[in-house]
Homo-oligomer: A and B are copies of this chain.
Amino acid sequence: MATINTELGSLENTQWVSGTYCFGNPQVGTTRQGKSFLKCLLRDATGEVQGRMWSFDQHRLKELARTGFVRIEGSAENFNDQIQLKIESIEAVDVTESDMQQLLPSTVHDIEAMFRHVTALLHSRSHPAIRSLANAPRVDHALTPRSRLAPAAMAMHHAGIGGLLEHTRQLMCIADAIVPLYRGSIDRDLVLMGLFIHDLGKTIELTWQKGFDYTTEGNLVGHIARGAMWLEDKAGSCDPPLPGETLRVLQNIILSHHGEPEYGALRPPSTPEAILVSQLDNLDAKTQMAITAVQQPGAVGGAFTDKIWGLNSSRLYRPRPLDAGREAQGEDAIDATSLF
C-alpha cells in the first residue's frame, strides 16, 4: 500500500480519486435504459462517499466483496448537492492489519505503547490468585492480536481500530488514580483485573475486517456472556487454581458492568468493586463522547452540537468559556473561607 490514497473526507467536485477503501453495501441497480450499474459505499479513516459505476457486470459482485477492501480509480462529481464518486475501475485487494489502521477510523494513540501500559498496570497486581489467572495458558490464540485492534463500540465512543484498548487503558489509569482515595475499602486487584476483562468479549462480538459490524456470535451470544465463559475456561487452567469465590466475583463484574438490566446487565453489580467498574465504564464512555462531540467541527459554527443519541439526545455547548484570558496558575492566594 505504498501508493497514496485520496482522502474521502475532503473531496471536491471533479477531483480525481485513487486509492484503497473499505467497501460497503454493494448493490446492483438498473438504469432507465435497463443496464446494470454498481452502487456502493466507500470509506476510509477520514470519511465516506457514495460510489457509482455505470457500466458494470453484475457477476463481478461476489469477487469484489471478497476481502472488504477495493482499489479504486475514478472522479468526484456533484449530484443533487452531494459529492458522489464516479468509479472508472475497481478491484478487490487484500490488506494487512497495519494497512487497516490507515484505512479505517482509528485511535489517535500508539497501539503498542497502550498495550505496554496495560501490561504494566496488570503487572502491578499483588495477589497470587490473580497472578495465577494472568499466567494461565491462553484461552484463545486468536485473541491477542484481536484485542489490540478491536473497536470498543459500533458507534458513539471509541468506535475505531484500537478503541477497545484505548478505552481499557483509560479506565485502568483512572482506577489506578482513584482507588487509593477510598483508603483500602476497594480492592485494587479486583478492579484492575475486572476492567481488563470487562469488555474483552467485544473482540468476538464485533468485526472490523470489512468495516465495523456485529458478528453472528455477537448477535446471538454477545460480549458479556462470552467474557464470562472465557473467564470460566481460563480459571480452570490456573495454577494455583483461582478460588471459586474469586472467579464468581470477577464473573459478576463482567455480567453486571452495564449497571442496570435495561442497559444490558444480566446481574446487578454485587460488590463495591463491581459498582465502581460499572460507574467508571459509564463515566469514561460519556465523557469521551462529549469531548469528541464538542471538538468535531459543526455546521456553520453554531454554539451547540446536534442532538447526541448516547447522551440522552442532549445538545452540547461547544465554546470553552475560559480559554481566553487564563493566566499563570496560583499567583495570588485565595482564601477559601471568603468564598461564600
User: Are B248 and A221 in contact, with the CB atoms below 8 A?
Assistant: yes
A279–B282 touching, CB < 8 Å: yes
A272 touches B300 (CB 8 A): no
State the Cβ distance, A293 to closest chain B Cβ, in Å.
Answer: 8
A residues 286-340 touching B (CB-CB < 8 Å): 286-287, 290-291, 294-295, 299-300, 303-304, 311-312, 314-317, 319-322, 325-330, 332-340
What mask results when residues 175 to 201 of chain A are scored 1 for a CB within 8 Å of chain B, else 0?
001100110011101100000100010
Cβ contacts A198-219/B at 8 Å (1 or 0 each): 0010000000000000001101
Chain B neighbourhood of A178, CB < 8 A: 174, 177-178
- Also in contact, A291 and B182, with CB within 8 A (given A271-B316, A339-B134): yes
B131, B177, B190, B311: the one contacting A334 at CB < 8 Å is B131
Give bound CA distance, A125 to B334, whole Å.
9
Known: A260-B312, A272-B287. A334 touches B122 (CB 8 A): yes
* Docked CA distance A251–B335 (Å): 22
Q: Which residues of B contact A196 (CB under 8 A)?
A: 339
Are A30 and B229 touching (Cβ within 8 A)?
no
- Decide yes or no whether A56 CB sits under 8 A from chain B: no
The interface residues of chain B lying within 8 Å CB-to-CB of A200 are: 340
Docked pose: A189 CA to B279 CA in angstroms: 23
Is A31 a contact partner of B78 (Cβ separation < 8 A)? yes
Question: Which 5 pairs from chain A and chain B are nearest by CB?
Answer: A119-B336, A268-B314, A126-B329, A177-B177, A272-B290
> Can you give 18 contacting A-B residue pairs, CB < 8 Å?
A14-B34, A32-B77, A119-B336, A128-B327, A143-B340, A182-B287, A182-B291, A186-B291, A216-B317, A217-B248, A221-B248, A225-B266, A228-B228, A234-B340, A246-B322, A260-B312, A261-B264, A268-B312
